[in-house]
Amino acid sequence: MVEFAIQAPTWAKLSAPWYKHLLRLASADFLPRAVTWRSDLGSHPGWKAYQCLIAAKMGGEAGLMEKKRVTERLAGWINIGKFYSDWETYRQTMDYDVGRRLFTVVALAEWIETSSV
């Protein structure tokens, strides 16, 4: 199902008025109608999961989102001052857009480390 979802064309995933319209049609035979056509989640439910992931990783856990670790990997490629500023802004405001930006930088740092081994 996940591979199918990833490979589906964008128009099929975002067709109005039903998000993931093609997936809903494909699952109609084996999921209850109430699940297949539910609309009570509001916007994209993945955003909430992504937001929780960012918040958890920014919450002081060592490892993936450790400032020093990230900046050492990306020194010379990113504006370190902006990164630290965004980090503090996110810690104070939990602004989703700032957190998403930070998470993208962290993912890049992780990719660089695993790709250059």
The percent of residues above 70 in pLDDT, for the chain, comes to 70
CB 109 within 8 A of CB 73: yes
The mean pLDDT value of the chain amounts to: 77
pLDDT beyond 90 at 9: no
User: What dihedral angle (degrees, nearest 10) is formed by the CA atoms of 49, 53, 56, 61?
Assistant: 160
User: What dihedral angle (degrees, nearest 10) is formed by the CA atoms of 67, 70, 74, 78?
Assistant: -40
- pLDDT, position 4: 72
CB 87 within 8 A of CB 67: yes
State the average pLDDT over residues 16-23. 68
CA of residue 58 relative to chain centroid, distance: 13
Find all residues with CB under 8 Å of 112, minimum gap 6, and list them.
73, 74
**Banded pLDDT at 46 (limits 50, 70, 90):** low
State the average pLDDT over residues 18-44. 78
Lowest average pLDDT, out of 35-39, 47-51, 95-99, goes to 47-51
User: How many contiguous H segments (helices) and E segments (strands) does the chain have?
Assistant: 8, 0
Which token pair is 89? 């802004």
Interval 50-92: pLDDT, tens? 677 776 766 655 455 677 878 888 888 899 999 999 988 988 8
- Sorted by where each begins, the domain ranges of the chain are 2-36, 45-115
